[in-house]
Structure 1
Amino acid sequence: MEKQPINQDQTIEERNPNEPTVSKKRKWSSYFKEFFMLFLAISLGFFVENQREAYVENKSAEVLAQSMLEDLERDRKALQEGIRFMEEKDQNMDKFLRMLRAPGEDWDTVAFYKSMTMVFSTFPFSPTDGTYSQMKSSGTLRYFDQRLVNKMNAYDNQLKKTIFRDELVEKGEWELVPIAATLINFEVTGELRFNKPITKETYIKIRDQDTLDLFINKVVTVRTMMGRSLQEYRAQLLLSEDLIKEIKKKYDS
C-alpha cells in the first residue's frame, strides 16, 4: 500500500495543538506589561509635576504673605495714627462748638482760629494694598487656604467703607468752606496749619444769628461724619490686627 505524503503543517499542528493559544497569551501578557509601564510612567510624571507645582505655589505663597504682612503693618500704623488724630480733633471740635454757643464777646479770636484750623485739618488714610490687588488680579489668591482668603477679602471690603467715609468727611469740610470764608481770614488758618506765626489780620465776622446757626450746623455735620469715619477706622484696625495674626501664625517663621 502506497504511503501518503505527510503534510508538514498538519504534522506540526498535530504535534503542538496548544501553540497558538500560548503565543496569544504571551502577546497579551506583553501588551499588558507595556500598558502598565506606560500608565505607571504617566502617573509618576503627573505626581512629580503636581508636587513641583505645589512646591512652587507654597514658596510663592510665603513670599506674597510676607509682602502682604508688610503692607498690613503699614496700614496698622497709619490707622492707629488716624484714630489718635480724629479723637484729638473731636475734642477740639467739641470745645469749638461750646465756644460758638457762648456769647460772642467771650470768644478768644486766636483760639477761634486755632479751632477752625483743626476743623479743616484732615488725616487721609491711603491703604497699602498693592500686594492684595496683585494677588487678586493674577489669581494667586488660590495659593492660600479659603479661611485666610475670606479674611483678606473682608479686610479689602472694609477698606472701601473706610475710604468712602473719609471722602464724606472731606466733602462736608468743603461744604463748610464758603461759610467759613465769610467769617474769618483763611490766610491765618493757613499759617497756623503749618505752625507759622500769625502775620495776617485776624477777624471774626458773624453777620447775624442765622449765619451763626448755619455755621454751627455745618460744623456739627462734619463732626458727626467724622465720628462715623472713626468707627470705620477702628473696625479696619481690628481686621488688620486679626489678619496680621493669622498670616504670622501660618507663614511667619
Structure 2
Amino acid sequence: MEENQAPETEKDLSNKEVINSLKKKNWKSYFKEFFMLFLAVFCGFLAENYRESLTAKKIEKEYILSLIEDLKTDTTNLSAYIEFREEKSILMDSLAEMMLSDNRSVMGNQIYFLARQVFNEKAFFYSDGTIQQLKNAGNLRLLRKRNVVNELLNYEKKVKILNEWDENDNRTKSTFREMGGKVFHSAELNATMDSEMRFVMPTTNPQLITADFGVINEIAFQIHYLSKMTKGNSLRAEFLKSDAGRLLELIHSEYKLN
C-alpha cells in the first residue's frame, strides 16, 4: 500500500511550512502586526489632517488680509462721502434761503449755480469683493474667530442700510427735478454746466420764471428736506466709518497682526 502513495511535491511541502508557521504564531504576534498596521494608517491620517490644517490657515490668512484692505478702502471712501455730503447740505440750505429771500432777484447767478449742484452726487462704493467670495464659496467657516465673522456680517447690514437711505435721497431728488421746471429757466440752468461737465457760475443774473411765492416755497421745502436727508446720511456714514475702524482693530487683535 505504501508503494502506491504518491511522493510529496514541493507545493505540498510549502503549504505545510506555511501551516506550521501559522500554528507557531501566538496572539501577541497577531496583535503586534495589527498594531503596526493601525499605527501606519493613523500616522498617515494625522499627516494628511495636518497638511489640510496648514492649507486652511493659509487661506484664512489670505482672506483676512484681503478683508483688511477692503475695510481700509471703505474708510477712505466713507471719508470722501461724508465730506461731500456735509458740504452739499450747507449748499442746499443756502440755496433755499436765497430762493425765499426778498432779494432773490439780485442773487440769480448764485441761485442757478447752486440749483444745478443739487443733482450732483458722490456715491459710497462698498468694497465687498472679499466678503462676497467668502459667502458665495461657503468659506466663512474658514474664519475661526466667530466674533469677527459676526461683526463682519453686522457691518455689511449697516452698509445696506446706508445704501437704502441713499436710494430715498435719489427718489426725493426726482421730485425736485419734476418740480424744478415750474421755477427755473431750463436754458439758463443748462448753461451752468460746460461741455466737460464742470459747473459754471452764470454772469447774466438769470431770474426764476415765476414770482408765485407758493410755488417757490414748495421748491425751497424740497431743497431743505434734501439737505436734512443729506446731512443724515453723512452722520450714518460717520457711524459706519467708526464701525469699520473698530472691525479693523478687532481683526488685528484676534489674528495678532500688530
From the superposition, tell whether residues 40 and 114 of structure 1 become closer, same or farther in structure 2 (CA, over 3 Å): same
In the other structure, the counterpart of 1:177 is 177
Question: 1:219 offset after TM fit, Å?
Answer: 1.3
In the other structure, the counterpart of 1:152 is 152
1:1-28 Cα shifts (integer Å, max 9, x gaps): xxxxxxxxxxxxxxxxxxxxxx989532
Question: 1:112 offset after TM fit, Å?
Answer: 0.5
Unaligned runs of 5+ in 1: 1-22
Between structures 1 and 2, the one with greater helix share: 1
From the superposition, tell whether residues 205 and 251 of structure 1 become closer, same or farther in structure 2 (CA, over 3 Å): farther
Percent identical? 26
Work out the CA distance in 2 between the residues paired with 1:105 and 1:223.
20
Contact 1:66–1:252 (CA under 8 A) maintained in structure 2: no
Contact 1:62–1:251 (CA under 8 A) maintained in structure 2: no
| SS at structure 2 position matched to 1:183 | coil
TM-score (norm. length: structure 2): 0.80
1:174-220 Cα shifts (integer Å, max 9, x gaps): 11101112322330343496134648993312341221222122112
Which runs of at least 4 in structure 1 moved beyond 6 Å after TM superposition?
none
Work out the CA distance in 2 between the residues paired with 1:149 and 1:51.
24
Question: For the aligned residues, what is the CA RMSD?
Answer: 2.5
Aligned-partner residue type, residue 109 of structure 2:
V
Question: 1:236 offset after TM fit, Å?
Answer: 1.4
Aligned-partner residue type, residue 210 of structure 1:
G
Work out the CA distance in 1 between the residues paired with 2:128 and 2:64.
13
TM-score (norm. length: structure 1): 0.81
In the other structure, the counterpart of 2:190 is 187
Selected match of 2:214 from 210, 215, 219:
210
In the other structure, the counterpart of 2:19 is none
The 5 A counterparts of 1:82-93 are 82-93=81-92
From the superposition, tell whether residues 219 and 193 of structure 1 become closer, same or farther in structure 2 (CA, over 3 Å): farther
Work out the CA distance in 2 between the residues paired with 1:237 and 1:89.
19
Contact 2:96–2:221 (CA under 8 A) maintained in structure 1: no
Work out the CA distance in 2 between the residues paired with 1:217 and 1:100.
10
In the other structure, the counterpart of 1:81 is 80
Contact 1:116–1:189 (CA under 8 A) maintained in structure 2: no
From the superposition, tell whether residues 117 and 50 of structure 1 become closer, same or farther in structure 2 (CA, over 3 Å): same
| SS at structure 2 position matched to 1:247 | helix
Contact 2:110–2:201 (CA under 8 A) maintained in structure 1: no
Aligned-partner residue type, residue 190 of structure 1:
M
The 5 A counterparts of 1:112-127 are 112-127=111-126
Aligned-partner residue type, residue 42 of structure 1:
V
Question: 1:86 offset after TM fit, Å?
Answer: 0.8
Whether 2:234 is the aligned partner of 1:234: answer no
1:103-127 Cα shifts (integer Å, max 9, x gaps): 1545501110122123222111111
Question: 1:161 offset after TM fit, Å?
Answer: 0.7
| SS at structure 2 position matched to 1:134 | helix
